[in-house]
Structure 1
Amino acid sequence: MTSAALPADEALRLEVLQRSALLDGPNEERFDRLTRLARRLFDVPIALVTLVDANRQWFKSCMGLNTTETPRDVAFCAHAILEDHIFLIPDARADQRFAHNPLVTGEPNICFYAGRPLKDLQGFALGTLCLIDQKPRELCDDDLATLEDLAQIAESELAGFQLSITDELTGITNRRGFLNLAAYGLTLCQRQKLPATLVFFDLDGLKAINDTRGHAAGDGLIRQFASLLAVAFRSSDLVARLGGDEFVALLVNVTVSDARRAVAALELAAIQEKQKPENTWDLQFSCGVVAFDPSRHGSISDLIEEGDALMYQAKRKKS
């Protein structure tokens, strides 16, 4: 058995996948509809939409299997995401790469596999739309074209999902995306006993800028702050715009003291931005920093609420 090599862009690919909010989510009719259709059109027992994570492939939609994931080192889809076209295995039992694979020699007894990589808006292959049969098969040109069409629809659904969790003004994660991703991050911290810290931000004086200079100026300030957040925090930190002038950052495996250092770096970046000749506004913000405590924070909403309260305390001290 031959395990798949890692894509050249693996680190970035995994980062995009983790931020997509697709992993470990609920079943969605938009994807289930496609796998039901694929199974019917190709008369196969199994059709899947898969996402290839660091050590597993997880099934966003699964028709014909009673599991939600398999190890990546035995996953056919880990091979498929390395391709730019449909990855086709007519008979895995006769293919040296797969003949001794436990998914071939045991349940679900894969014989035939066809997987078309699914790419996100940036071109990263996140997973596949795949067909599986327990007997040898070939696909004719019309079959390949049909699978390609279905895969393009699946990619459109992935793009729609990604856009639905992205803030249109700033390009960073929006409230919906943050709530999904942050819940996953807190679960990980509880499981691995890691610290987590939330920072709640509110821009100072945005209403006055909107009132005196117009909403275009206010929007510019919001975009500028989002850009500074990307500089001050790590790429692994979850940064989002909750709405209006409110932003939030969840830092996994980071203590409050380390989070405060990141905030200090953000304050310095804001001062440096203010000193640029082309800058015509004063970017200031207030924030609340709170450590995740599972005994007090039953959900990410509880953590946000406390961060919000601490932020208002800091804002009142300025007035």
Structure 2
Amino acid sequence: MLHANWAIEQERLDALARFDILDSPEEEAFERVARLVCRILDVPMSTVAFLDGHRQWFKARQGIDACETARGPAICNFTIGRAEPLIITDTLRDGRFCENPFVTGPPHVRFYAGFPLRSAEGQNIGTLCAMAPAPRSITADEIVILQDLAAVVMDALELRQLASVDGLTGALSRRAFRDAATRQLSLAKRHRHEASCLLLDLDHFKAVNDSYGHATGDKVLAESIATCRSLLRESDLIGRIGGEEFAVMLPLTGREAALGVAEKLRSAISAQHFSAAERSFSITASCGLSTFSPAMTDLDTMLQRADQALYAAKEQGRDRCVAAAVAEVESSLGRRVLKAGQIVFNSGRSVIDCTVKRLSEQGASLAIMNTAGVPERFKLAIAADGFSKTCEIAGKAGGELEVRFA
């Protein structure tokens, strides 16, 4: 890709970052659009997808099991490069896609209609698409309807920017939590107060939805957060930042006191009892926490350390709380960004797409589809910035790598 194209791609990622939509919870406004697409076109599959540097992530989906896939082979990856919809009546008769892994393998896409989700600035941040496992034509009226639905998705995104409360749980929305928590952290830094941050995740929550249905899953979420809110102070903040993941900011609270709060929330959640389909069940939660220190330059650093502790709690068996070690030296990986990057190794013969999420002169935080097979030392390239540096892995957590520049 030429440098000019990488610059255009960075403008697209900047537009996507402004909406803060990636990895956010399911929302009925988007699910409704996906259902409507299936009904209007009489197709079994539909998605509302957003594409970052290395993947397509589904905000809403019908007939698709995965919540994300690699960006490279995704047909939607072609759609975001267009001003007009991409219509393929039979993928096996289209030389561009006849050998595509999503055509030759699950979900066996034969018909595809993709409509760019375009920001007000003209950047394609994602797609609304309809798919079927058999060839199909599409009428002019159907195209107009799907274009209108794509506009509805963008309108919902704009309205979501203004929302301050999660409609299901009553917790703060992700953006509202970030804004309020950033203000609290600024006060802690200015007045040298203690502050701690918790990340709380309901264990095996997907199994609840699969076994008892989404209505029961919604009840579990709502009642669990109501239980947590009843145990928190008025000055504490709780926000929904993922499907079943919540963040809690505890002002004027040190590490040991925060660990006590985390254990209290964990115990209260496990003490709940629910019933569905003439069966009773309970759930557990895992928690990771981090505490403000001079090394905490911003909220993202605090959340990142809490997330690493949460990952450790899950690795240790779940249903437990883990506190991140107190950082004695600067551990921030720099400013929050959203950039398309590449992990390059094996003398340039092996390349893995990644998304650069944080960047500084000392290192970076990278998200990839799978950390398996990534060597301890490699080159990180960010084509839009003409950037290339040798780095080594400093830590792993889920699908993310923390690297330091050599």
Aligned-pair CA distance for 1:16: 2.8
- Partners of 1:184 and 1:50 lie apart in 2 by 29
- Partners of 1:65 and 1:184 lie apart in 2 by 34
Aligned-pair CA distance for 1:177: 4.8
Matched with 1:152 is: 151
- Partners of 1:25 and 1:174 lie apart in 2 by 10
Matched with 1:137 is: 136
Matched with 1:42 is: 41
SS at match of 1:73: coil
Deviations 1:88-109 (A, max 9, x none): 1111111111111110001000
Matched with 1:52 is: 51
- Partners of 2:102 and 2:361 lie apart in 1 by 42
Deviations 1:64-112 (A, max 9, x none): 1111011111111111111112111111111111111110001000001
User: Is contact 2:337-2:359 (8 Å) kept?
Assistant: no
Question: Identity rate of aligned residues, in percent?
Answer: 36
Distance verdict in 2 for CA 1:82–1:252, change over 3 Å: closer
Aligned-pair CA distance for 1:63: 0.7
Aligned-pair CA distance for 1:236: 3.4
Matched with 1:186 is: 304
SS at match of 2:13: helix
Matched with 2:123 is: 124
- Partners of 1:36 and 1:18 lie apart in 2 by 26
Matched with 1:236 is: 337
* Matched residue type, 2:52: D
- Partners of 2:163 and 2:120 lie apart in 1 by 13
* Matched residue type, 2:107: P
- Any unmatched runs of 5+ in structure 1? 166-172, 199-232, 238-250, 257-319
CA RMSD of aligned residues (A): 3.6
Higher strand fraction (1 or 2): 2
- Partners of 2:74 and 2:8 lie apart in 1 by 19
Matched with 1:206 is: none
User: Is contact 1:46-1:131 (8 Å) kept?
Assistant: yes
- Partners of 1:98 and 1:50 lie apart in 2 by 19
Distance verdict in 2 for CA 1:160–1:104, change over 3 Å: same
SS at match of 1:147: helix
Aligned-pair CA distance for 1:18: 3.1
- Partners of 1:87 and 1:56 lie apart in 2 by 19
Aligned-pair CA distance for 1:12: 2.1
User: Is contact 1:118-1:128 (8 Å) kept?
Assistant: yes
User: Is contact 2:335-2:359 (8 Å) kept?
Assistant: no
Larger radius of gyration: 1
SS at match of 1:109: coil
Aligned-pair CA distance for 1:62: 0.7
Aligned-pair CA distance for 1:124: 1.5
- Partners of 1:185 and 1:123 lie apart in 2 by 32
Deviations 1:48-71 (A, max 9, x none): 000011111000001111110111
- Partners of 2:89 and 2:54 lie apart in 1 by 26
Matched with 1:21 is: 20
User: Is contact 1:120-1:158 (8 Å) kept?
Assistant: no
Aligned-pair CA distance for 1:9: 1.4
- Partners of 2:306 and 2:103 lie apart in 1 by 32
Aligned-pair CA distance for 1:11: 1.0
Aligned-pair CA distance for 1:8: 5.4
Aligned-pair CA distance for 1:161: 2.0
Matched with 1:162 is: 161
Distance verdict in 2 for CA 1:74–1:174, change over 3 Å: closer
Aligned-pair CA distance for 1:254: 5.3
* Matched residue type, 1:91: D
Matched with 1:277 is: none
User: Is contact 1:189-1:253 (8 Å) kept?
Assistant: no
SS at match of 1:143: helix
Distance verdict in 2 for CA 1:163–1:136, change over 3 Å: same
User: Is contact 1:121-1:159 (8 Å) kept?
Assistant: no
Matched with 1:93 is: 92
Matched with 1:31 is: 30
Higher helix fraction (1 or 2): 1
Distance verdict in 2 for CA 1:87–1:188, change over 3 Å: farther
Report how many aligned residue pairs link the two structures.
197
- Aligned pairs for 1:308-319 within 5 A: none
**TM-score between both structures, scaled by the size of structure 1:** 0.54
- Partners of 1:82 and 1:115 lie apart in 2 by 11
Distance verdict in 2 for CA 1:183–1:140, change over 3 Å: farther
SS at match of 1:57: strand
User: Is contact 1:120-1:159 (8 Å) kept?
Assistant: no
* Matched residue type, 1:236: V
SS at match of 1:153: helix
Aligned-pair CA distance for 1:26: 1.0
- Partners of 2:136 and 2:5 lie apart in 1 by 28
Matched with 1:215 is: none
- Partners of 1:47 and 1:148 lie apart in 2 by 14
* Matched residue type, 2:130: L
SS at match of 1:236: strand
User: Is contact 2:20-2:175 (8 Å) kept?
Assistant: no
Distance verdict in 2 for CA 1:252–1:102, change over 3 Å: closer
